[in-house]
């Protein structure tokens, strides 16, 4: 690897991170890129092992470290299509210093069927989004419970979510959702005096969704505290920023950047400061009365859910898990909410069509509420379409805990990172139906699923991977679907939506390293409807 190549890698790594996060610490990033590239040059000098005949076909690459990354970044859909045609439905790529086995089509389902003893989902998530590592670097006052006796799939938090957010259980959250959304419309969408237009960006949408999460998960006593709401709203984006640092740089370099510049510790401090006293007070009262009180908010439910070893959580342990709930409940929900608004921004025809359906629904249902929004078919169909077309190009990561043979004879070696080509499946006419309007799958059709009762936004499978599949499918997807469709409906009722781009077109999604779709850098313009 020549010095010129090292310099090219340094420039590219620095530019990638700065492009995704323009407010990042640029001198540190540049130096970090230099260290990483130097390490890379050393590692490339070592001889490589001979590949077994039944290993996944390796897609050739010629640029050190960057590998297939440039082609991925230019057009990820075309790259994956080319790889399928040339190397088959399972292949291995190297991009930005990371090797990954990519599964497409029916082999995606084989990944889920293999089970965690072969292709582990939690290990894959930690490999691509190292939450435990980020947490350990940012907050040392409390640790997550781990170890052989602590099955993460049976943690109090996971069990409480599975037991409290099924479709028939959402009625108890309706008033809080409605109240929080109305508060968000009043407080988070602001206009200069005398103006009828404003810009709504991701941070404002995160606060709107944060208001819902604070009331549902943290309860009425602290759920309207603005400092808590702000901490919860910005927590998820801080984690994503940290995670991308680990995608771009080697672990030891990313550790330094995260610890010094991207710590999530301040967010957790605020969450603990407000949540712990509330749960401690409840726990003390329950001990005095000798019985458990009926929970009125989710974290109280979590505190009543025993650990895998049968012990009960302390108030502080339960409060600590609110940061997990915060990430899970706000990031995906706010992301797909703003993506839906961007999709509508240069499609006034879609806005008119959806408003017409909302007006028809009002005549039948009365006022639209979080509880009856699911009875408006176009809203659910439109949301499923947003999930489908904005899915990651390579995502839902798994980790091979042992050699895993697929039905075509290819063996995924132990230790491999495995990524699933979700967007490719979502736009494959062999997997996805066109719908009644025959609109191409690379375009948005809000009515694509409107007549197909089995294709609700929360229905999962090979044709809808946004929420995962099988045991690890997102248990909070029913709540998320309700929140997002209700927020979109309320905004459409009050505002016309338009882009703020110079060409009048929808702002493009950003790409993280060619595999992850991020929300556009710009917001959308809202204009008060007369």
Binding residues for heme: 474
Phi/psi of residue 241, nearest 5 degrees: -60, -45
Phi/psi of residue 497, nearest 5 degrees: -115, 135
- Asked whether the CA dihedral 324, 326, 329, 332 is positive or negative, the reply is negative
Read off the tokens for 403. Answer: 């050699």
- Cβ neighbourhood burial of 349 (10 Å; 0-12, 13-18, 19+): exposed
Residue pair 486/160 in contact (Cβ under 8 Å)? The answer is no
Residue 500 neighbours by CB distance under 10 Å: 16
Read off the tokens for 170. Answer: 């959402």
Residue found by looking up tokens 């169909």 in the block: 381
Residue found by looking up tokens 């929360």 in the block: 458
CA pair distance 217, 214, nearest whole angstrom: 5
Which runs of E-coded beta strand occur in 13-159? Answer: 90-95, 98-103, 119-120
Torsion of CA 221, 227, 228, 232, to 10 degrees: 150
What's the count of helices (H) and strands (E) in the chain, helices before strands? Answer: 20, 12
Residue environment code for 245-257, b if the CB has 16+ CB neighbours within 10 A, otherwise e: bbbbbbeebbbbb
| Coil vs helix vs strand at 41 | helix
Residue pair 97/40 in contact (Cβ under 8 Å)? The answer is yes
Strand partners, 90: 103
Strand partners, 497: 526
Residue 376 neighbours by CB distance under 10 Å: 21
Known binding positions: 474
Contact residues for 100 (Cβ-Cβ < 8 A; gap 6+): 92, 93, 94, 394, 416, 417, 418, 419
CA pair distance 458, 469, nearest whole angstrom: 11
Short-list 402, 394, 461, CA closest to 119: 402
Residue pair 31/63 in contact (Cβ under 8 Å)? The answer is no
Packing angle between helix 202-213 and helix 477-494, nearest 10 degrees? 120
């Amino acid at each position: 690897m020549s010095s010129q190549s090292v310099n090219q890698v340094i420039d590219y790594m620095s530019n990638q991170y700065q492009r995704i996060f323009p407010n990042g610490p640029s001198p540190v990033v540049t130096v970090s890129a230099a260290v990483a590239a130097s390490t890379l040059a050393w590692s490339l000098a070592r001889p490589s092992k001979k590949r077994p005949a039944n290993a996944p076909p390796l897609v050739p690459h010629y640029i050190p470290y960057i590998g297939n990354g440039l082609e991925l970044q230019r057009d990820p859909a075309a790259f994956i299509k080319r790889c399928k045609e040339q190397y088959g439905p399972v292949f291995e790529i190297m991009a930005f210093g990371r090797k990954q086995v990519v599964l497409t089509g029916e082999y995606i389902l084989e990944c889920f069927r293999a089970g965690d003893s072969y292709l582990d989902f939690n290990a894959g998530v930690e490999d691509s989004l190292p939450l435990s590592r980020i947490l350990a670097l940012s907050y040392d006052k409390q640790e997550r419970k781990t170890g052989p006796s602590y099955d993460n799939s049976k943690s109090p938090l996971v069990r409480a979510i599975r037991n409290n957010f099924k479709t028939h259980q959402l009625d108890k959250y309706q008033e809080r959702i409605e109240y929080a959304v109305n508060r968000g419309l009043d407080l988070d969408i602001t206009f200069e005096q005398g103006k009828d237009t404003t810009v709504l960006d991701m941070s404002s949408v995160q606060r709107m969704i944060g208001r819902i999460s604070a009331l549902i998960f943290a309860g009425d006593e602290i759920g309207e505290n603005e400092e808590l709401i702000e901490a919860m709203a910005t927590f998820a984006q801080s984690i994503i920023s940290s995670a991308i640092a680990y995608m771009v740089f080697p672990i030891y370099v990313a550790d330094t950047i995260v610890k010094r510049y991207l710590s999530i510790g301040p967010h957790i401090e605020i969450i603990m400061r407000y949540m712990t006293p509330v749960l401690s007070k409840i726990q003390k009262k329950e001990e005095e009365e000798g019985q458990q009180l009926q929970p009125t908010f989710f974290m109280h439910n979590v505190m009543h859910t025993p650990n895998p070893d049968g012990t009960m959580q302390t108030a502080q342990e339960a409060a600590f898990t609110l940061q997990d709930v915060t990430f899970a409940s706000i990031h995906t929900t706010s992301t797909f909410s703003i993506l839906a608004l961007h999709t509508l921004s240069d499609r006034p025809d879609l806005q008119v069509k959806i408003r017409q359906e909302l007006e028809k629904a009002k005549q039948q249902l009365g006022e639209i509420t979080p509880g009856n929004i699911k009875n408006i078919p176009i809203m659910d169909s439109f949301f499923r379409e947003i999930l489908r077309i904005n899915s990651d190009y390579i995502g839902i990561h798994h980790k091979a805990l042992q050699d895993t043979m697929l039905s075509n004879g290819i063996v995924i070696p132990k230790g491999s990172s495995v990524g699933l080509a979700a967007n490719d499946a979502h736009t494959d006419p062999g997997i996805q139906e066109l719908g009644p309007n025959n609109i191409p799958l690379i375009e948005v059709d809000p009515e694509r699923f409107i007549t197909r009762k089995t294709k609700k936004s929360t229905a999962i499978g090979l044709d809808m991977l946004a929420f995962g599949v099988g045991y690890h499918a997102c248990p909070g997807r029913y709540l998320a679907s309700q929140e997002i469709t209700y927020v979109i409906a309320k905004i459409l009722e009050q505002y016309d939506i338009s882009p703020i781009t110079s060409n009048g077109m929808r702002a493009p999604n950003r790409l993280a390293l060619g595999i992850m779709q991020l929300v556009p850098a710009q917001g959308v313009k809202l204009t008060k409807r007369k």
